[in-house]
């Protein structure tokens, strides 16, 4: 049985945490800096893992193909040697489970008895009728697959990264690209779309060929790396399959904040209060986000909620991510050790090849996964950790929390390790340096207030994970002593 808060993974990171807060603060208002966007919603900052990438990255709504170089990026005497990027898939359809819940809610609205005097507070119109008549265009076959907007997310990310790191993404290096992906269709297709974006960079105006006809290798599936959580017995038993592991999520659903929203929505849609529950409310909220992200329309579903409601629903989503993928239980992050070690194996190899005056065999490694891939890894590294755990009972105290999943892992989010070779270094140790980027912005390092680290110092900070974290051991279930005295 899990021990709840006592099984947190506590990593001391006060200096970087302060800078991480500043990073999130700058992201918080991205959506409000683009008044020219015709489909922007005041709810956009609160969609959690269903957030559009451009709502977490200011400026992309104006020109999504132009990179905005972070002034903290190294330049001049330090040359990028290798880039290892962990990338979440692009915008996707809702899952079949979410679509079934939406269909249930839509049916509830259509079953309302007709009345002539129905009108809600939103412009004096019958919002329930507007939603009942709004096209329900989602179908079961969509089931989380990548949408065209998601392919565009990846193509544009490829163009920006190629412009930001032209030496690494040179045409000469195209054949040496190394792509790894989760087996999920949305991740495989994200990798393909990224390659097509690079083709567009190399051959502007020419339509890209099939991936099989490109000069590089197609994405290689590796679920043990990109879906490590599916291969960790301890996580699957103690978190995924444990009805009590998400206690705080379920408790918040029946808490006063969510009950207040249930009452407001029932009144606004003029449906019986007891016909609604937190899951249906959440799927209605997410439908606003899906319509916005996939079709670029602000649907009537967005009119059901105000920003106060959105903040509560964001917290509900963050609670789930916190307890299932973040700091809630130690195994959530420790199950990602293999992925973390794999990243450093690539960096180590590049360092050794440079020391021997050999060309780096893989200048760019691209790994396509999920929000569930990135969040445990960032937690393992000590990022976005609040002083107090997120619980069902401290919503107001956590209003300014660091752990806001929509600002950390929106669609197309990316965690990038850039290894540099600095030719004018005073010592051999200073010759190799590293920067980490989150969503194309330099992320302050977790062991200092700096935006760059000597490679050896970074390895030393994560020595325990790199040397002592064995996923096979971490994911082993404790042995149960079944022996008994025989008569």
Active site residues: 89
User: Is the separation of the CB atoms in 459 and 466 below 8 Å?
Assistant: yes
Q: How many Å apart are CA 304 and CA 284, to the nearest integer? A: 8
DSSP one-letter string for 175-226? GG-EEEE-SSHHHHHHHHHHHHHHHHHHSTTSPP--GGGSSSPPPEE-HHHH
CA 462 from centre of chain: 22
The β-bridge partners of 88 are: 369
The dihedral through the CA atoms of 241, 244, 245, 250 has a sign that is positive
User: Is the separation of the CB atoms in 70 and 441 below 8 Å?
Assistant: yes
Q: How many Å apart are CA 118 and CA 133, to the nearest integer? A: 15
Q: DSSP H helical segments within 402-481, as ranges? A: 405-408, 455-461, 463, 471-474
Phi, psi of 436 (to 5 degrees): -115, 130
Burial class (CB in 10 A: 0-12, 13-18, 19+), 487: exposed
**CA distances to 106, 247, 252, 280 from 261, in Å:** 18, 20, 12, 11
Q: How many Å apart are CA 312 and CA 419, to the nearest integer? A: 40
The β-bridge partners of 415 are: 86, 438
User: Is the separation of the CB atoms in 451 and 435 below 8 Å?
Assistant: yes
DSSP one-letter string for 292-316? IIII----GGGGG--HHHHHHHHHH
The dihedral through the CA atoms of 170, 174, 175, 178 has a sign that is positive
Q: DSSP H helical segments within 270-380, as ranges? A: 278-290, 307-324, 330-334, 337-355, 371-380
- Residue 287's nearest CA partner among 134, 424, 401, 183 is 134
**Does residue 154 sit in helix, strand or coil?**
helix
């Amino acid at each position: 049985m899990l021990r709840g808060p006592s099984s947190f993974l506590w990593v001391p990171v006060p200096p970087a945490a302060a800078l991480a807060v500043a990073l999130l603060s700058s992201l918080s208002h991205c959506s409000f800096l683009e008044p020219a966007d015709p489909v922007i919603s005041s709810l956009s900052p609160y969609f959690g893992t269903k957030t559009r990438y451009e709502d977490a990255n200011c400026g992309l709504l104006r020109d999504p193909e132009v990179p905005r170089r972070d002034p903290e990026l190294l330049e001049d005497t330090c040359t990028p040697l290798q880039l290892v990027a962990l990338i979440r898939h692009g915008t996707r359809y809702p899952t079949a489970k979410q679509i079934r819940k939406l269909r249930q809610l839509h049916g509830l609205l259509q079953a309302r008895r007709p009345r002539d005097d129905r009108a809600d507070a939103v412009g004096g119109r019958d919002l329930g009728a507007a939603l009942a008549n709004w096209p329900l265009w989602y179908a079961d076959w969509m089931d989380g697959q990548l949408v065209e907007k998601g392919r565009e997310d990846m193509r544009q990310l490829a163009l920006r990264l190629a412009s930001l790191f032209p030496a690494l993404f040179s045409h000469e290096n195209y054949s040496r690209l190394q792509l790894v992906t989760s087996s999920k269709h949305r991740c495989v297709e994200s990798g393909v779309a990224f390659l097509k974006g690079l083709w567009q960079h190399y051959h502007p105006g020419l339509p890209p060929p099939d991936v099989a006809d490109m000069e590089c290798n197609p994405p290689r599936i590796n679920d043990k790396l990109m879906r490590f959580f599916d291969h960790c017995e301890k996580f699957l038993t103690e978190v995924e399959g444990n009805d009590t592991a998400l206690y705080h999520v379920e408790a918040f659903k029946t808490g006063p904040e969510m009950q207040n929203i249930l009452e407001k929505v029932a009144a606004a849609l003029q449906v019986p209060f007891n016909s609604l529950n937190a899951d249906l409310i959440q799927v209605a909220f997410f439908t606003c986000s899906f319509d916005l992200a996939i079709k670029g329309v602000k649907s009537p579903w967005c009119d059901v909620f105000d920003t106060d409601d959105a903040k509560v629903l964001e917290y509900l989503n963050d609670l789930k991510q916190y307890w299932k993928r973040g700091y809630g239980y130690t195994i959530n992050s420790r199950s990602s050790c293999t992925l973390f070690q794999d990243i450093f194996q690539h960096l180590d190899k590049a360092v050794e090849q440079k020391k021997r005056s050999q060309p780096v065999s893989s200048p760019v490694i691209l790994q396509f996964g999920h929000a569930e891939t990135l969040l445990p890894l960032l937690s393992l590294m000590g990022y976005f950790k609040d002083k107090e755990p997120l619980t069902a009972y401290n919503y107001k105290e956590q209003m300014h929390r660091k752990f806001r999943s929509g600002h950390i892992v929106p669609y197309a989010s990316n965690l990038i390790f850039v290894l540099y070779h600095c030719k004018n270094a005073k010592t051999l140790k200073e010759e190799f340096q590293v920067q980490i980027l989150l969503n194309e912005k330099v992320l302050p390092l977790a062991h200092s207030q700096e935006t760059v680290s000597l490679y050896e110092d970074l390895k030393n900070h994560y020595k325990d994970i790199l040397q002592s974290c064995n996923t096979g051991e971490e994911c082993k279930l404790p042995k149960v002593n079944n022996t008994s005295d025989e008569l």
